Amino acid sequence: MVRVMAVGIFDLLHAGHLHYLEQAKSLGDELVVVVAHDETVRKQKHEPITAQNLRRRMVEGLKPVDRAIAGNHPRIHIFEILEIVKPDVIALGYDQKHSIEAIREGLSKFGYGHVEVIRVEGLSDDLDGTRKIISRILDLWQGAEGGPYEED
């Protein structure tokens, strides 16, 4: 059995997330998703809109996902999650900024040199990311008749 690990924030679930997880699942038999800890989200991106436990529950409810777990607090070394998941493959999203080479080096350093790292393809939709969706909503809201930014 091939266990695939996918990682992400998954704040405001959207089609791009589903596509990423479908692609990840196609790489093996079991998909375990690590949902970023709230402190990691704050450190890397923004204040989470949805708390980590709810994000984890929502991700776990998606059809391709066999199991979803909360990620480590940022003070805990990121590679420690490997002891819990024990992946054969790590699937990276097309837009995740992680360097495949840096991950491979870290995996080797911690005794996981056998783990394959694969970047999956993105969705060819213009609303495949949380920031894109928020931007589109704001554009629609600001342009709506009677919206808060309409000029008189």
Give the three-state DSSP class for 102: helix
- DSSP letter (8 states) at residue 36: P
Please give the pLDDT value at position 147.
Answer: 55
Neighbour count for residue 73 (Cβ, 10 Å): 10
Taking residue 24's Cβ as centre, other Cβ atoms within 10 Å add up to: 26
- Decide if 135 is inside a domain: no
State the sign of the Cα–Cα–Cα–Cα dihedral 84, 86, 87, 90: positive
pLDDT on residue 126: 62
- Angle CA(42)–CA(55)–CA(95) in degrees, nearest 5? 65
| Domain range enclosing 99 | 3-123
Domain assignment of residue 136, yes or no: no
Q: Which tokens is 147 given?
A: 């919206």
Q: What is the mean pLDDT of each run of 10 residues along the chain (152 residues)?
A: 96 89 98 95 88 96 97 84 95 86 91 94 67 75 62 46
Q: Indicate whether 66 belongs to any domain.
A: yes
In a domain, 141, yes or no: no
Q: What is the pLDDT of residue 152?
A: 44
Q: CATH number, domain at 60? A: 3.40.50.620
- E-strand stretches of 17-94: 30-35, 67-70, 89-92
Measured CA distances, 37 to 47, 114, 121, 129 (Å): 11, 26, 25, 19
pLDDT at 94 (0 to 100): 85
**In angstroms, what CA-CA distances link 21 with 102, 130, 139?**
22, 15, 28
Q: What is the pLDDT of residue 129?
A: 64
Supply 16's token pair: 């791009």
Residue 146 lies in a domain: no
Domain-embedded: residue 104: yes
Can you give the pTM of this predicted structure? Answer: 0.82
> Do the Cβ atoms of 20 and 102 come closer than 8 Å?
no
How many folded domains does the chain comprise? 1
Residue 149 placed within a domain:
no
Q: Residue 146 corresponds to which amino acid?
A: G
Would residue 48 count as lying in a domain? yes
